[in-house]
Structures are given as C-alpha cells and as structure tokens.
A and B are shown apart, each in its own frame.
Chain A
Amino acid sequence: MSSSHSHLRKMKENILLGLCVVALIITMVPLFSILISIFVNGGNVIDLAFLTELPKAVGETGGGIANAIQGTLILVALASFIALPVGMIAGIYLSEYKSSRLAWVIRFFSDVLTEFPSIVIGIFAYTVIVLYIRSFAAFAGAVALAIIMIPIVTRTTEEAVRLVPNGLREAGIALGVTRWKTIVRIVVPAGRSGIVTGVMLSVARAAGETAPLLLTAFNSFYGFSGLLKPIASMSMYIFIFSISPFPDWRAKAWGAALILMLMILALSVVVRSVTHGRYPARV
C-alpha cells in the first residue's frame, strides 16, 4: 500500500518535472523559428546594392536600405548623446548616495520606466516636439529613444559602479582626495566595463524600437536631410515594407530584418562575453 503510494508520487514527480523540461523546449521553438525565418527569407535579398542604394518606387527592381541604416545610426547616436550623460550621472548618484530616500524613489521609477509602453513615450515626444515644429523630425525620434535609453543606462551604471569595492573609495578619501574626485577619477573608471555593457544594451534596445519612431521620426525614402525633417530607420522600414501588399517589398522587409537582427545579436553576444552573463540580454 505504502509502496504503491510512493510509486505514485515518484511517477507524479517524473511527469511534472518532465513537463517543465517540455516547457523550456517549447519556449525555445519561437526563437529558433524566428532566427531561421529571418536567415532563410532575408539571406537571398542581401547584396551590396541592397546595402548601398536608396529604396525605389513600387515596380522598379532593386533599391535598398542605405537610408534606413544611415537613419538608425543617426537616431541612435543622437539619442545616445542625450541619454548617456544623463543616465550615467543618474546611475552614479544612485550608487554613491544609495541610502537617500530620493535615490530609492528614482530607482523605483527608473525600473517602472524601463518596462513602460514605448508608444506612450512616442506620444509624449510628439506633443512636446512634433506639435511645436509642425513636422515629424529626426530630433523628436532621438528624444523618444533617449527617454527609453535613460533608465537602462541608469540602472546598469548603478549596478556596475556599486560593484566597485569600497576599499577603492576609502583609499581615495584616505589619500585626501575629495569625494567627488574619488568617484569621478577612481570609482567610475574601475566600473567602466559594466558601464559599457549598459551602453550597449541600451543601444541594442533603441536600435530595434519602432513604435515611438512611428509618431516622431516617421519615415523617409531619402537620406538624412536635417534634424528637423523626417528620417528613415531600419525598424520603420521593416514595418512599412512588411505590411505592404507587394511581394518584392515584403522580401526586402526580411532582408532589413536580417541586417537589424545581426546588429542586435552582435551587441548581445559582445555584452555576454564581456560580462560572463552577469546581465540579461535585455534589461
């Protein structure tokens, strides 16, 4: 009786733990399906012309994503220019003055903002910039991306700087260096690999964002024409071309997806190898 009961429990254990392993395997299926789809459908679209030409009108053969690549680089660079100083300094504050009540509140809302719907951030950038200058603008897109990047940079900088051993801070103070100089000259440089990680994570996130750009930078079929003019981007290119009714355009969407995915995968793998898995692929 008791042995059959324990037999039953053993069976239940095997079945349920087996189901957990099955869950893990099912979880991995979409990732591989997505990667395979991108490589299969996008692989034969890509050639030198695809990377170096501007998009062409419907019906014309050829045309590429040169302007989208340029646009994404400009948007992300500009967003980084805004977000990195703010995020890093905020992260330093959270790490070096961690016990203050303000630090607690900021840390909390920074986490909240990281998970925030990016389309809402897009509406915000639209109302404060696009409505004023009465045009979709690269600058507005960069601001929206910067708002998405700031909390990521803040939290990863905080983590990185916090990991610097206290001995370094004490050594600085003991040598008679002021606290702020200790932080800027000794503590922050010691945590720089972690900070760089945060930068790359935030860049990877910003490069893939679409929803906020839809309302701010919108799209363009030409190259960069000024910060106050609409600008193309990889993600908007994928969106517009994939929902179009033309098979040729859809194929090109896959090609652009492959390029974007390679950029993001490269960043993720570098982050991974630099930090030995201390950080997730996305914050």
Chain B
Amino acid sequence: MQTFHRKRVEMKNLSAQPHFSLKATERSLMTRITADKIFKIFTAAMASSILLILVAMVFELYNQSKLSIDAFGFSFLWGTVWDPAITQVFGALPLIYGTIVTSLLALLFGVPLSLGTAIVLSELSPQRLKSPVSFIVELLAAIPSVIFGLWGIFTLAPFLRDNVYPALQAALGFLPIFQGPIYGLGVLTGGIVLAIMIIPTVSAVSRDVLAAVPDSQREAALALGATKWEATMTVMSYGRSGIIGSIILGLGRAVGETMAITMVIGNRFDTFTSLFEPGYTMAALIANEFTEATTDLYLSAIIEVGLILFLVAMAINVLARFIVWRSLRMVRGAVLE
C-alpha cells in the first residue's frame, strides 16, 4: 500500500517538472529493458539448473560405471553371477528380473484398487466427501518409505505369513509360484507393499483425468439409457490414455522404490520361482551393498546398476508424463470447445 502511495507522489512530481528531458526518459527506458532482460536470463539460468542436474547425473553415472561397462559389456545385463568376494564377476539379470516381477505384482494389486478409488472419488462420491476422502488416500503418499518398510517387517509380513499365505498355498499350491517354505518376507510381500505405495499416485492422477472429462459425455450416455456404470465406462474410455499414463507413473514409482522394498523383499541374489522366496531388486541392491563395496570394480558394478535404474526410470517417467500431459490437455481442450 505504501509503495503505491509513494509511486503516486512520484508521478505527481514528474508531471510538475517544468523541464522534462526526453533524453533522460530514454536512458531510463533503456536501463529498464536491460534490467528486465537480466532478470529473465537470471531466472532462466536458475530454472535450467534442473536440466543441468539431470545431464550431470547421466554423465557421472556413466563415468563411474565405466570400469564395469568395460569389463563386462552387455553381458552385465544377462549375467546371473554376483560375486564380489572371489572372482569379481558381476551380472545384473536377477536384479532386473526381481524388479520386473515386484513391479508387475504392484500393478496387479495396485491398479484395480486405484481405479476403483478414482471412480468413487470422481463419479460416485457426494461433493462434500470428495475432498476429505482424497486427502486420506493421498496421506498414504506422505508416509516415508522407511516407515512402510518398518510396518512391512513387523505388521504386514507376520500377518500375511500366518493368515494369508498358508491359505493361498493350500488353494493354489499346485502352481510353482506358490510352492516352497513361507518366510513372510519375500517377493510377494514386496509386491504388496509396492502396490500400497503406488495407489496414491495412480488414483490421484486418474481421478484428475476422469474429473477433466466433460459432463456432456456422462449426460449423453445417461440420456441414451445407460446405467451409471455404463456411463462411467464411457467416461473411462474417453480418458483412457490419461489413465494408462497414470498406471505408467505408478510403474515408475514401483521400479525406483528403495527403502521399503529393501526391508521386506529378503535381499537374496537369485532368480526365484516361488513368490514366497526372498528376492532382490536393483534399488535394493544399491541400498544394501553400496557402502560395503570393497573394490573399485565392485563399486563400479553397483553404480552401473544405478545407471540402468536411471535409464529405465527416465524412459518410464518421460513416457508417462507425455501421455498424461497430452491427455489432460486434449480432455481440457474439449471442455473449452
């Protein structure tokens, strides 16, 4: 308020000046334009630091894993031996396998729950319940990963081991994936924890996508005699690319999740068959062994795992963001038309 007042006074003075010099205003105009330019360049430089960080990350990861890349080449990707003690041979296949299996399990359990939640929040819930219920679901995302791990070890895993897995084995034990001893901690428990952790992401993004679908779609379906469910399906198919994007975002989170999965998956370097067995993921290996790496090659191999994780996460996230952005823009564009 004070600023405005002072400005007004200044302007009054300006108009009262008898000898108003044109040269002076020109000069001040020039400095103003330069000041604006400098400001723009300065803020742009700060903003570009985000790009710089990403570029520097690729560079550093590649540089530091060069030792391992030179030693093993592409065989690193399908090698199944991880022997830091004697032969110093490293291959990451079991890690990649473990990451894929746990991520797919996370999608298998997490996606139906997330989409159901998103449908309730966008299509069914009364207006005044929407906001508090969304908050509760998203609060799940505010819980630190290490607390998920703590809960996974001491609450979830014993519960599953005693109450769920024996029944599962009794019913479906003829399948190789449900055979063998039950420890509680293992691949399936890891997948379930990941599923819980991706729900807030997938449900929030797909809820936004559904909410952005124009009401004309719902009204048209209902007017044609569709049930509420059929109308919802119309809305879902209208926003399907955005929903696919939200699922890929969830996949990205599952692939990169570290602490919780390290604490519940059992950390055994092995290509498991049964989901009750312990396994390993790329992120879990980095968390577990990074500080114990005794030789340069060992450390380099772990960083190469980080490089693979970087590239996979990058690809997944770029793809997902593209799809979500485009679909939100398309859907919102349709609203404006």
Contacts and interface: CB of A to CB of B under 8 A. Distances in A.
Contacts of A27: 113-114, 116-117, 137, 140, 199, 203
Nearest to B229: A13
Nearest to B252: A115
Contacts of B277: none
Contacts, number: 284
Given A20-B120, A127-B64, A31 B46 contact: no
A217 to B, nearest CB: 12
A109 B167 CA distance: 46
Give the most central of B38, B314, B320: most A CB within 10 Å.
B314
A105 B44 CA distance: 12
Contact of A253 (B7, B48, B53, B150): B150
A183 B35 CA distance: 12
Interface string B98-117: 00000000000000111111
Contacts of B60: 123-124, 127-128
A209 interface: yes
Contact of B51 (A85, A105, A177, A281): A105
B321 A17 contact: no
Given A214-B287, A264-B144, A272-B135, A90 B50 contact: yes
B146 interface: yes
B51 A106 contact: yes
A241 to B, nearest CB: 9
A280 B153 CA distance: 28
Contacts of A261: 143-144, 147
B54 A123 contact: no
Interface string B277-308: 00000010011001100000000000100100
Contacts of A235: 144, 146, 259
A109 to B, nearest CB: 6
B155 A37 contact: yes
Interface in A89-121: 89-90, 92-94, 96-97, 100, 102-103, 105-106, 108-113, 115-121
B149 A239 contact: yes
Contact of B287 (A9, A119, A154, A272): A119
Given A22-B116, A124-B60, A127-B64, A118 B43 contact: no
A272 B142 CA distance: 12
A260 to B, nearest CB: 7
Given A17-B232, A176-B7, A280-B200, 7 more contacts: A10-B227, A34-B143, A112-B318, A116-B317, A119-B256, A119-B286, A210-B145
Interface of A: 9-10, 12-13, 16-17, 19-24, 26-28, 30-31, 33-34, 37-38, 41, 85-86, 89-90, 92-94, 96-97, 100, 102-103, 105-106, 108-113, 115-121, 123-124, 126-128, 147, 150-151, 154, 175-180, 183, 185, 204, 207-211, 214-215, 218, 235, 238-239, 242-243, 250, 253-254, 257, 260-261, 264-265, 268, 272, 276-277, 280-282
26 contacts: A12-B229, A13-B229, A20-B117, A22-B116, A23-B112, A28-B137, A30-B196, A38-B147, A90-B43, A93-B40, A94-B47, A103-B47, A106-B51, A108-B325, A109-B50, A123-B286, A124-B60, A127-B60, A127-B64, A180-B40, A210-B145, A210-B259, A215-B290, A260-B147, A264-B144, A281-B200
